[in-house]
Amino acid sequence: MATVSTGIVGGAGYTAGELLRILLNHPAADVSCIQSSSNNGQPVTSVHKDLIGETDLVFSDIDFDAVDVIFLCMGHGKSAEYLEKNDVPQRVKIIDLSHDFRLKREGNGFVYGLPELNREEIRTAKRIANPGCFATGIQLALLPLASAGLLTKEVHVHAITGSTGAGQSPSGTSHFSWRNSNVSVYKAFQHQHLGEICQSLAQLQGQFEQPLNFIPVRGNHTRGIFASVYTDFEGTVEEARELYQRYYEGHPFVHLSPVNPDLKQVVNTNKALLYLEKHDGKLLILSCTDNLLKGASGQAVQNMNLMFGLNETAGLNLKPVAF
């Protein structure tokens, strides 16, 4: 198996730390360099202390001659700035974890990197826009319905996320004393991930124009997204399960759960668990994902595997926390 040489830009944050953890144990990847402007010259383990004993890497500039792919793990708006200031060679592939290139615009050469939607396009892509964490879980709950043209009424989403979804930089709403034993709603009906979700649904179901009512919630846990999604559905729950099983057949990380799931079944994994119930005329879809893995770094490695012709699951057979 050929080795893929990787570089990470913006190496001090949570997504970069999870990328490192996966790539250091990946059977076909080598971490060549990891850049952090605020930690240049320092050992990577001075920031990512969970990796003590696993790497001797030091934060340094990216050597484009030494890498096959770079992961951009910077804040929103920073990836576009980085690519404007740095002449990345055409042969170096790019996987961007920010919001900068997820929406289709003229001149945007990035493929939207949701494998359960665009797997074949990802295989031949040079540049990937990794989906957002909320967007991943919500889309996985709705793609089978959109593919069958069954999103004919408004969709309701209530989703709670862990504190790591806010990034590593401390803020008033990520401080332990505020977050612990607390929940709050934010960006109701106007979250930034709505654009990419609706874009993907329209890709499968023509001009999807139904309202998508999304209420994001800050949870008092560290990681994981639990989304409750419901919409009108005329069929039976058995018909819905058959539709979902057929859509996700061959997609290794999405699984239908026979029982009502919980977050700990997916935390620390690249899995998504979906669970279906029918209530009167409504189909309820529960979606569980780890915001830092399937919602970010794990999915980025899944995309890397596809781009380089590797086994899609390479490096991603991770055990959930579970207890």
245-251 long-range Cβ contacts below 8 angstroms, 24+ apart: 246/144, 247/143, 247/144, 247/147, 248/116, 248/144, 251/115, 251/116, 251/119
Contact 286, 261 (CB under 8 A): yes
Number of residues assigned to the chain: 323
Mean pLDDT of the chain: 93
Q: What's the pLDDT tens digit per position in 137-192? A: 999 999 999 999 999 999 999 999 987 755 555 555 666 666 677 899 988 888 88
Q: What's the pLDDT tens digit per position in 259-274? A: 999 999 999 999 999 9
What is the dihedral angle through the alpha carbons of 310, 245, 97, 293, rounded to the nearest 10 degrees?
A: -80
Calpha distance 219→262 (Å, rounded): 14
CA 226 to chain centre: 14
pTM of the model: 0.94
Could you say which of 33, 133, 198, 288 is catalytic? 133
Whether residue 33 lies in the annotated active site: no
Cα 39 to Cα 11, 13, 61, 276, 292, distances in angstroms? 9, 11, 11, 46, 22
- Edge to edge, the sheet with strand 184-185 lists 184-185, 212-218, 155-161, 225-232, 282-289, 272-279, 254-256
Q: Is the pLDDT score of 221 beyond 70?
A: yes
Where do runs of H (alpha helix) occur along 208-270? 237-248
DSSP state of 223: S
Calpha distance 234→256 (Å, rounded): 20
Q: Is the pLDDT score of 282 beyond 60?
A: yes
Contact 198, 164 (CB under 8 A): no
pLDDT at res. 116: 98
pLDDT at res. 190: 86
Average pLDDT of span 74-95 = 94
pLDDT at res. 186: 86
Name the pLDDT band for 29 (thresholds 50, 70, 90).
Answer: very high
Percent of the chain with pLDDT strictly greater than 70:
95
